[in-house]
Structure 1
Amino acid sequence: MLALLKPVSIFFLAGLCEIGGGYLMWHWLKSGRPGWTGLVGALLLALYGWVATWQPTSFGKTYAVYGAVFIVMSIAWAAGFDGFRPDRFDVVGGAIIVVGIAVVLFWPRP
């Protein structure tokens, strides 16, 4: 179970850092939020780069899987923080991506 929980937790933390950092930078630059908002966003984006290195897989595999995680988390973030309402195609597409993540990351290799 730990073999499953650890990489998923790291991907989730990396997603929070990247999406949260990007969100703060966006609001600083587009909505005139105070400078500290951009600074915190930049720090979170830098932290994302460090957190991603905690994955035990190769760089290519880590970033391929993370790309899919980013898509799903971005839809969830937009729904929770930005007033976006996912439609059934967003949900179905996200579910397909989750299956793809599971295949790439956890499918047994010969």
Structure 2
Amino acid sequence: MIKTTALFLVTALAEIVGCYLPWLWLRQQGSPWLLLPAAACLALFAWLLTLHPTASGRVYAAYGGVYVCTALLWLWRVDGVPPSRWDLLGAGLCLLGMVVIMAGPRTGAA
């Protein structure tokens, strides 16, 4: 579970950086050269998704929990906006959902 969570974290960072750099270019008048590392990050993100060990739908659903937490951490550390208690509560619920999805039994019926 720790290896999968670490892979989720690296995947989330690749996605966030791949989206943040074009945002800098478009909204903050950054250099168009930012698009090259952005494209590389998004390609890395897509490749990292293929490394996850289980069926893609389940992986993407569980990955969402880690993505939400990583995005809030990015908001705090990069944008300087600390998370509110509601942000933290929502992130905790997302992580709990991730654990339920990843650790739940794998049967055909609900």
- What is the TM-score of this pair, normalised by structure 1? 0.89
Whether the aligned pair in 2 keeps the contact of 1:29 and 1:38 (CA below 8 Å) is no
Whether the aligned pair in 2 keeps the contact of 1:11 and 1:69 (CA below 8 Å) is yes
**What SS does the aligned partner of 1:17 have?**
helix
Indicate the residue corresponding to 2:23 in structure 1: 26
Indicate the residue corresponding to 2:91 in structure 1: 94
Q: What runs of 5+ residues in structure 1 fail to find an aligned partner?
A: none
Superposed CA offset, 1:31-54 (max 9, x none):
111122121112101110110110
- What is the TM-score of this pair, normalised by structure 2? 0.89
Indicate the residue corresponding to 1:77 in structure 2: 74
Distance 1:44 1:10 in 2: 15
Shift of 1:87: 0.8
Q: What runs of 5+ residues in structure 2 fail to find an aligned partner?
A: none
User: Of 33, 47, 51, which aligns to 2:44?
Assistant: 47
Paired residue total: 107
Whether the aligned pair in 1 keeps the contact of 2:17 and 2:41 (CA below 8 Å) is yes
What residue identity is the alignment partner of 2:81?
F
Shift of 1:109: 4.4
Distance 2:26 2:62 in 1: 29
Superposed CA offset, 1:11-42 (max 9, x none):
01100100011111110121111122121112
Q: Which runs of 4+ in 1 moved over 6 A?
A: none
